[in-house]
A and B are shown apart, each in its own frame.
Chain A
Amino acid sequence: MIENSFNRRDFLKVLGWGGATVALSGCGNTSVEDGREYVTSYVETADYIIPSIGTYFNSTCAQCDAGCGIMGRVREGRVLKLEGNPDSPINSGKMCGLGQAGVQAHYNPDRVREPLLRNGDKGEAITWEKALQLVNEKVASANPGSVAFLTGGVSGHVKVLLKNYLDAIGSDRHYVYEAVAPSVVRAANKKAYGVEMPRLRLDRAKVVVSFGADFLGTWVSPVHFSRQYAKFRKGVNGERGVLVQVESKMTITGANADRWLAIRPGTEGILALGLINALIAAGLTVPAEVAAAVKDYTLDRVSNDTGVSVEHIGKLTALLKDRSPSLVIAGGAAEGYAHGSQNAAAVALLNQVLGNVGKTVEAPASMPFPQMAPITGNRSSLQALNDSIAKDEVKVLFNCGANPVYSAPASMNMKESLKKVPFKVAFAHYMDETAMEADLVLPLNSSMEDWGTVVPEYFAEGAQLNIQQPLMEKLHPGTLGMGDVLLALLKQRRPAEYNGYEDYYAYLKNAMVAIKGALGGENEDDDVFWDSVLSQGVVKLTSSSNALVSSASAAGLQLPPPAAEDGTYPLRLIPAVTPNMRDGRHANEPWLQESPDPLTTIVWDSWVEMHPKTAAKLGVVEGDIVEVASKNGAIKGQVYVFSGIHPDVISVPLGYGHEAMGRYSKGVGANAFKILDPVFDQQTGELAMYETRVKVTKAGKRVIVVKDEGPAGGNQSGRRIALRMASGKVNLAEEV
């Protein structure tokens, strides 16, 4: 990190040599040859550049929406490696593998490098001037209300510009779509706590019971929760925190639990209410209406319905009774059903009767600049867009950061649906499935070439504003930042307001300096303030806390009995969100393909995971290729057998099976999104991800599963390699 101030533009000019050499291999004169830029020799370099010594610059990780602070090691004008920014409260200097692979998104050989205009089946390279002019014409000739934006989660100044652009053309069609998002839990939290995502204090809890929230791997802010988990395990005064994970398919969080409880799919809410009932029997005082609502959830019935043994329910009750405060979290496995909202509400009620609200469930900080606060996405937003397209209401569609052609279930038929939109613009890093359908593809800068501000959805402490800044000169001269494009589009609509900004950098600096008082820099010179912001990478904002209410109630809780068996489609499909692949947007980064899945250790392919009992019933063994068929389609995959999954379900990871995108992702594995049944959560209308019924049939061949575990399949064969002992034998307080 550079503490003293310097002129960032000059810095980038020095770095420009890398960009210039790239340009040399193309056609035309480079800016160096034209004399518009100079190559500065290292003989007279700036103070902060020492050849062969890496310099760190702070920025923000863009691999997921958690908003971890990063610092990129820059040497000789290239960014080499990312480390966590120790000053970011979210990740405190740490990073996950997905974040590490950010450099492979940046240097990826399959990035789109210039604007492409559709000509039949091909994309023809055009200039940005022509592209933006075309956009201007199409938007001007369309009815204002028929111009729509489809984006992923968006925040910061880009969100402000996007809103301004939509206002300028007179449209309110901004659809925010995330294929994998805790939308149902957000809605349930809003009801129970008054906020969508309360601040969870794992570090203060003595017991954590997670109903399928994979907070160590994929859920909300995994690196932050991992930091908290470490404190939770070390415990207060050496009393080690106890983790119990309830889910039908083991996640990486489940693999770290003291007890992993395999639950019959969809009965999470029943277990939560059963625990309340058992807690009452153990002497916990609860409101009368709660007691009345749970009195039918007797131990035997709950055990029978959920498949969790009476012994384990009893032990879990005792644990929750004796060790307070605890923390109960509802995650993907609880919300993925038609009654997902009910499950999540039951879990919230359990948290409340345990008295955790206010102790381990805290009010999150509120964002003092709501216009920059993140908009989170969900699937019903995509449904709304799809419905509008069906009614011919959308004439121009901009798509940025979402890949619905890949990730929407086949029942939505996005590919055909998009054909009805006359002009589709895709802002793209890769030629992914959705960009392939576009009429105009506009290539974006990588997050390591771009300016921006990011507001994370989940604040670790107070509110914060993250800075994204270029870690090197652009690799490809033909790409542009999203902010720059929006600014150019706004200049077409509101020239008086925006012509004063040369580029997005100028806009951003101006906007930040304008609010410097609120960002803690009221007495500073503009440039000093700006430089210190860039140097820190994170601006901590003074903010108040949102109010937290404790309004979970038993009223209206309607939990259906365990689902009846379906004769034709006897198994349930769990589409697994894995730490490497998530929703598949990073499938073209080879480190992630080669990084073994933590549980199965499989690389470079997807798989069909099942319990040994299920495999025996189907007559298949590891490596058999099977067909997984739902009412909405079928995929094939290799069988992997292991005992971290309920016998009633099978699981296929998401993120694989791309039909486009790039050399490392195309044709690798199968796309489980495609066969999901259109079943929805009754309250929120979200896709119930775990409701798909499937049948599995042998499809002939058998292959050798390419995986990292040896032939012993995770058995130590009597050797003392990985050891385990009972926590009661150790005094953690005495350890270093």
Chain B
Amino acid sequence: MSITNLLQNWSDFRQQHPSDERPHQEYKWAMSIDLDLCTGCNACSVACYAENNLPAVGKEKFSHGHSHHWLRIERYWHNEDREYADQGAQFLPMMCQQCEAAPCETVCPVGATNHTADGLNSQVYNRCVGSRYCNANCPYKARYFNWYDYPTTADVWPAPMEQQLNPDVTVRGKGVMEKCTFCVQRLTVAKSNARTEGRSVQDGEVQTACQQACPTGAISFGNLIDPESRVAKQWEKQQVKLNHDKQAKDAVHDGDKLRGYRILENLRTYPSVMYLEQLREGAI
């Protein structure tokens, strides 16, 4: 990609946040996570390690913030000044939110992170020069940098552990940024199969690794363009609109019946992940 090409065709490379004039064509991958069902068990996170060749970096590197969990469970307490955390914890699976107007994309000096036609924020490893600007600019802290050469010098996969590595996913070397891809390798296969059969991908045909593992089924994933997909129905029901930065929910104060929201929506990142608020019973 030459700089001339990049400048001349900027609008093709830099897709703006979705608007009525520039709708998604065939696919818009999106997710919905029900926080009332998430138990914080970490099954999704370990499944992500297995699927995406994430290195287990060890205690020392973890303490330096060099962990690589593309999907991490954030755990919050909300017990104000009570003696006990007696309404439990708030667990929140946090991964790349696949923002439609991603702050990471605009700052990449080499166009390594950019937007795909089906609404993914993609990371091109062999373009990445490791400036880490994207990481600094990500409000969700969902990007992870390879400070070490994990496959070789860091010896994260001593033989025969390397045999477990997923051949569908690149093993990243030192100096590149990485993050959740919505399991793009699975999406590619599903899209290719569908195209061969002259149709589009049906709901439920493709699952992300985290969604497939989740014991309570808290995660749903699919094509937001397809009105029959579960995820589109959920977004619709919760009145969360992809290309808005204020939702119906924000306007209602009493008699609130919507629990769908996107994190840090006020930053106008237009994330592709909708969360459903955790619930707590008032009678006890």
Q: Footprint of B on A, CB under 8 Å?
A: 18, 22, 52, 75-76, 78-84, 91, 93-101, 103-104, 106-109, 216-217, 222-223, 226-227, 229-230, 233, 240, 242, 244, 250, 252-262, 312, 315-316, 318-319, 475, 579-580, 590-596, 598-599, 601, 603-605, 613, 642-644, 663, 668, 704, 706, 708-709, 713-716, 719-731, 734-736
Contact = CB atoms under 8 A, between A and B. Distances in A.
Q: Which 5 A-B pairs have the closest CB atoms?
A: A226-B215, A97-B46, A604-B59, A590-B56, A722-B90
Contact of A107 (B37, B46, B164): B164
Interface residues of B, number: 78
A704 B75 CA distance: 19
Contacts of A642: 77, 85
Nearest to A76: B167
A312 B284 contact: yes
Contacts of A605: 59
Interface string B18-43: 00000000000000000111011111
Nearest to A102: B50
Nearest to B215: A226
Contact of A591 (B56, B85, B90): B56
B75 A598 contact: yes
B4 interface: no
B217 interface: yes
Interface of B: 35-37, 39-43, 45-47, 49-51, 56-59, 62-63, 67, 69, 72-79, 82-92, 158-161, 163-167, 209, 212-218, 230, 233-234, 237, 255-257, 259, 261, 263-264, 275, 277-284
Contact of B277 (A78, A261, A723): A723
Given A52-B167, A255-B89, A721-B74, 15 more contacts: A81-B51, A83-B213, A216-B39, A255-B91, A613-B83, A643-B79, A706-B59, A708-B67, A708-B73, A723-B35, A724-B278, A726-B280, A726-B281, A728-B281, A730-B259
Given A80-B164, A721-B92, A726-B280, A97 B75 contact: no
A223 B46 CA distance: 15
Contacts of B230: 736
Contacts of A78: 163-164
Given A719-B264, A722-B90, A726-B282, A230 B217 contact: yes
A728 B257 CA distance: 9
Contact of B85 (A318, A594, A596, A644): A644
Nearest to A594: B56
B213 A593 contact: no
Contacts of A596: 42, 72-73
5 contacts: A97-B213, A258-B281, A261-B86, A613-B83, A724-B278
Contacts of A100: 43, 46-47, 49-50, 213
Contacts of B209: 81
A104 B164 contact: yes
A605 B63 CA distance: 12
B42 A731 contact: no
Contacts of A226: 39, 41, 215-216
Given A579-B41, A594-B56, A734 B283 contact: no
Most chain A CB inside 10 Å of its own CB: which residue of B73, B77, B212? B77
Contact of A727 (B46, B56, B282): B282
A192 to B, nearest CB: 25
Contacts of A75: 167
A94 B88 contact: no
Given A598-B91, A644-B84, A727 B279 contact: yes
Contacts of B83: 262, 613, 643
Q: Which residue, B36, B45, B261, B275, has most C-beta atoms of chain A within 10 A?
A: B36
A3 B174 CA distance: 43
A598 B50 contact: no
A595 B45 contact: yes
A109 B69 CA distance: 22
A84 B213 contact: yes
A78 B62 CA distance: 29
A360 B45 CA distance: 32
Contacts of B257: 729-731, 734
Given A96-B215, A109-B158, A259-B87, A725 B59 contact: no
A603 B39 contact: no
A311 to B, nearest CB: 10
Contacts of A229: 37, 39, 216
Quick one: which of A96, A106, A594, A720 has the most chain B CB within 10 A?
A: A594
Nearest to B254: A729
B56 A593 contact: yes
B161 A706 contact: no
Nearest to A80: B166
Contact of B40 (A91, A255, A613, A729): A255
Contacts of B67: 594, 603, 708
B279 A599 contact: no
A316 B284 contact: yes
Contact of A258 (B78, B161, B277, B284): B284
Given A593-B56, A599-B75, A260 B39 contact: no
Contacts of B161: 104, 107-109
A604 B62 contact: yes
B30 to A, nearest CB: 13
Nearest to B44: A97
Contacts of A709: 74-75
